[in-house]
Amino acid sequence: MDKPQTRWSLPRHDYWSTPFAESLLRHLDLRPGLRILDIASGHGIPAFYLAEQVGPTGTVMAIDLNAGQVMRAKAIQGSQLPWLRFDCMDMRALPDDLPMFDRITGNLSVMFFRPNRFEAVEGLVKHLSPGGQLVLTFPSYGTFDSLWQVVDRAMTQQGLTDERKRFQDYLHERPSVEDGHGWLKALDLEHIETVAYPLQVATGPGQEFLHHPLLRGGFLDDVYECFEDQSRAEQFMTGIAQDITRFTPLIAQRGVLSGWKHNPTTDSEG
């Protein structure tokens, strides 16, 4: 069989989604003909790559709750890869009539499972065929800890008691790969792998840090949301941004969860 073309390789210019997708693919058993459900598909990393690899004998259903992301992915797709379908759907409440899949993948997905992460994973496993594989990636506990320590100390020094309480609540509910291992074990998955790969995020001081495309609109917003007064939040974060040597390098942890659903058929064959 000819090796599949790689027109839809992971984009080099995406410095956040692509490294996480690479860690997902490191653990995913991928081959032509598979039926794949890709959750939190965004604008198509890695859904396009997955579709190209399974080929026309396979299918990829890529879902995201953000209608704008789904529309963007469909615009990129056009009439290509007709066995790839993008849909707007909540991965935390999949319909009962959804078919079974050989693989369920989710790049940068676990953070969107809140508030009931285990139940969300359990719902995914219900749609995984016997012998199928689940692979999820997410920024795990430990991501940007050097920054969070500076933020916590500054809140303490400035007497921001309520803001610090909200911030601590956020930190304490972040999942770790150990948490993920417990979820997969409780769901009786087999050959479980849970790994964190470090990823350095480069940034400069001041406004470059405050408006960094990988930080604002994501991690930094978690700090802003701890403040009821957003002008005070801006003042606080501007102070943090003046000396980034206190928390750089910024290291993200690319958490990967992988597990296989038990296949009774293989027991009888054995």
CA–CA gap between residue 238 and residue 97 (Å, rounded): 50
* Pairing of the two strands 128-139 and 250-260: antiparallel
Spatial CA neighbour of 131 closest among 30, 266, 36, 262: 262
CA–CA gap between residue 82 and residue 58 (Å, rounded): 10
Which tens digits make up the pLDDT trace of 66-123? 999 999 999 999 999 999 999 999 999 999 899 999 999 999 999 888 888 999 999 9
Residue located via tokens 């849909």: 87
Spatial CA neighbour of 50 closest among 93, 113, 102: 102
Q: Which residues contact 80 (CB under 8 A, 6 or more apart)?
A: none
Query: Backbone dihedral region of 81: left (phi > 0), alpha (psi from -120 to 50 degrees) or beta?
Result: left
Which tens digits make up the pLDDT trace of 33-61? 999 999 999 999 999 999 999 999 999 99
Q: How confident is the model at residue 170 (pLDDT cuts 50, 70, 90)?
A: confident
Give exposure, 242-265, as e/b (b: 16+ Cβ within 10 Å).
eebeebbebbbbbbbbbbbbeeee
Q: What is the mean pLDDT of residues 249-260?
A: 96
Which tens digits make up the pLDDT trace of 182-200? 999 999 999 999 999 999 9
Spatial CA neighbour of 222 closest among 146, 169, 150, 176: 169
Q: How confident is the model at residue 2 (pLDDT cuts 50, 70, 90)?
A: very low
Residue located via tokens 């150990």: 178
Q: Which residues contact 24 (CB under 8 A, 6 or more apart)?
A: 46, 105, 107, 135, 136, 137, 256
Helix (H) or strand (E) holding 49: helix 47-54
Q: How confident is the model at residue 4 (pLDDT cuts 50, 70, 90)?
A: very low
Provide the 10 A C-beta neighbour count for residue 27: 18
Q: How confident is the model at residue 3 (pLDDT cuts 50, 70, 90)?
A: very low
Q: What are the structural domains, with CATH classification, of the chain?
A: 17-139+175-198+253-269 (3.40.50.150), 145-169+203-246 (no CATH)
**To the nearest whole number, what is the mean pLDDT of the chain?**
93
CA–CA gap between residue 188 and residue 184 (Å, rounded): 6
Spatial CA neighbour of 137 closest among 31, 10, 222: 10
pTM for this structure?
Answer: 0.90
